Chain A
Amino acid sequence: MSRRNSETTGIKRQLYTALADMTWRGQLAAEINDYPDTLTAELSTRYRCCEYKEKAVLTHRLRVAMGLAPEDVPRHATLADMAKIALSRTPKPKQCGLEMMAVACDRCPFEKYIVTDVCRNCIAHHCRVTCPKDAITIVNHRAYIDRSRCVECGLCERSCPFRAIIQVTRPCEQACVPKAIVRDGNNVARIDCEKCVGCAACIPACPFGSVADYTSIVQVVSALKEGRSPVVALVAPSFVGQFGTKASPSALRLALLEIGFTHVHEVAQAARQVAEDEAAEIKHRMSEGKPLTLSSCCPSFVATVKTQFPQLEECISTTPSPMAHQATQVKAANPAAITVFIGPCVAKKSEASLLPDVDAVLTFEEVGCIFVARGINIATLSGNGTLGEGDTLGRGFAKAGGLTKAVKAALGEAEIATHLANGLDEVLQTLTKAKKGELNANFVEGMACSGGCIGGHGTLVNRQVTEKLLDRYCEA
């Protein structure tokens, strides 16, 4: 997500790179206590009220980046203490993968409707007349909303001919389709993990950078450094073009080997098998009189079904996702291997937390930071080949519609009605229809991110750019 919030993204990447560097040098616990000082000195602009707040926020950012939740660390733990805890952990992601850092939240105004300077204290006073709760009075020649009466119905906003009353929504709430962001008594935003589907849309949405996802950077880098067990990279199909047009797929392979991965696989390989299995499952279900099957690849889609449409849960395909499938194969061949899924997706971290065969998940952004920390420039590595084994249909999973295409190919002659739900808004519409029995489809491909995985929040380039490169790679 380099296209928005470049400032907060920049700081995040700087932290990730520093963590990877300190871990690789074996100096994490020794140096991390001083890091907030170093960084605040380096960043010439100050974002918070004072240096102390700035450093407090950085401390929490570092904690989250080390994969630690507040309850994982004792009160008053120093960053060095946290580093030791992080290093002693096996790399396993958390189920609720996102944290709204209370210190970083700016407690944006809670009032939903605000009277602006545009108010002319007109004669008609449509706002006052329409308000069903008599919450509007005129104070100082201007409409005034009594918060104790206001029920946030929005009638006043619509009634004002000058549009002097506006609706303000917090960016995090606005971005959250499942409405999982709530406020506590002090107006601090909080994520309701029961409702959160892990899509991570709130991360780029918050201009204060208060939402962060837990990472396994420290744990993976230390496993790569130790080299005691083989560390296997399972790379998602959407990797194409993520590290720039100068970074070829085979150069990415070399770069991953260079930082210590012992094997590199394309998850596209497993994707193909997933399509075959899912096709068989659809056929089988239809023969049993169950006309609808929902795809299981996208963890946020699956979470949306489970949390908001429990009556449809039975329709979710039981075929494991390509990530799960590939990891199981690797573990079957070598149980000692550490499997690291590398992809565009933050929600995969939550999915992996429940899968015994996936040890860690890194986003492309996180791996990119590890490359920088290790001084690796993929653009200077050579090669024209592929990243690993894979075929056209499996590689196509990266894009919305790719799964459907592969499933249809696997079905051969058998005709089924398919439906693509592209992005969380469409997912909700589709599932609402399905719930009412109004959806004419035997198979729904649900993708929480618009455009599919290449639109994921852990990507590094705009999906319009990667789409073309992906098409070319699929045909190669």
Chain B
Amino acid sequence: MNKITLQFCGGTACHMKGAPELMAVLELLPEQITSQLHVSLTHCLENCGAGPNVRIGGVVHSRVTPESLIAIIKNLAAGQVK
């Protein structure tokens, strides 16, 4: 099974807009989902004004909130199972 790749932006703009909180959200997810994730950190996703940004499976999502992040991940994880 392919892993879902999550690339968090660790740039200063995204950091100040709540990237650490987003990353902390991953800990709330059940093991069966987190085991499907491949998480990394990058310098900048070149959309600094609209952070926090996360590249998920190749697509950059902007203004991500903890809630929207969980929803996106759960959606993708559900798709993987099928």
Contact = CB atoms under 8 A, between A and B. Distances in A.
Contact of B43 (A10, A377, A460): A377
Interface in A369-405: 369, 371-372, 375-380
A339 B61 CA distance: 40
A368 B17 CA distance: 10
Interface in A235-263: 243-247, 255
Given A377-B12, A378-B12, A379-B11, A244 B19 contact: yes
A462 B66 CA distance: 16
A256 to B, nearest CB: 12
A158 interface: no
A255 B80 CA distance: 42
B21 A368 contact: no
A246 B10 contact: yes
A465 B11 contact: no
A368 to B, nearest CB: 5
A6 B41 contact: no
B81 interface: no
B41 A246 contact: yes
A378 B10 CA distance: 9
A246 B43 contact: yes
Contacts of A376: 12
B41 A245 contact: yes
Contacts, number: 70
A419 interface: no
B28 interface: no
Interface in B13-41: 13, 15-21, 24, 41
B44 interface: yes
Contacts of A379: 10-12, 15, 43-44
Contacts of A371: 12, 16
A3 interface: yes
* Size range of the chain B interface in the assembly: 10 to 19
Contact of A244 (B10, B48, B66): B10
A377 B11 contact: yes
B12 A6 contact: no
Interface residues of A, number: 28
B68 to A, nearest CB: 13
A368 B11 contact: no
B41 A369 contact: no
B44 to A, nearest CB: 6
A416 interface: no
Interface in B33-58: 41-44, 48
B21 A243 contact: no
A441 B79 CA distance: 61
A10 B17 contact: yes
A468 to B, nearest CB: 14
Given A6-B21, A377-B43, A380-B43, A245 B16 contact: no
B15 A244 contact: yes
B12 A2 contact: no
A13 interface: yes
Nearest to B13: A372
Given A246-B41, A246-B43, A379-B44, A372 B18 contact: no
B20 A462 contact: yes
A462 B17 CA distance: 15
A372 B41 CA distance: 19
B16 A369 contact: yes
Contacts of B43: 246, 377, 379-380
A461 interface: yes
B24 A243 contact: no
Contacts of B24: 3, 462
Contacts of A17: 16
B16 A13 contact: yes
Given A244-B12, A372-B12, A372-B13, A377 B18 contact: no
Nearest to B48: A377
Contacts of A10: 17-18
Contacts of B17: 10, 13
Contacts of A365: 16
A377 B42 CA distance: 12
A421 to B, nearest CB: 28
A246 B18 CA distance: 15
Given A13-B16, A247-B12, 17 more contacts: A2-B20, A3-B21, A10-B17, A10-B18, A243-B12, A244-B20, A246-B42, A365-B16, A372-B12, A378-B12, A379-B43, A379-B44, A380-B11, A460-B15, A461-B20, A462-B20, A465-B20
Interface of A: 2-3, 6, 9-10, 13, 17, 243-247, 255, 365, 368-369, 371-372, 375-380, 460-462, 465
List the 7 closest pairs (A to B, CB-CB), nearest first.
A246-B10, A379-B43, A244-B15, A377-B11, A244-B10, A368-B16, A379-B11
16 contacts: A2-B18, A2-B21, A6-B18, A6-B21, A13-B16, A13-B17, A246-B41, A246-B43, A365-B16, A368-B12, A372-B13, A377-B43, A377-B48, A379-B10, A379-B11, A379-B12
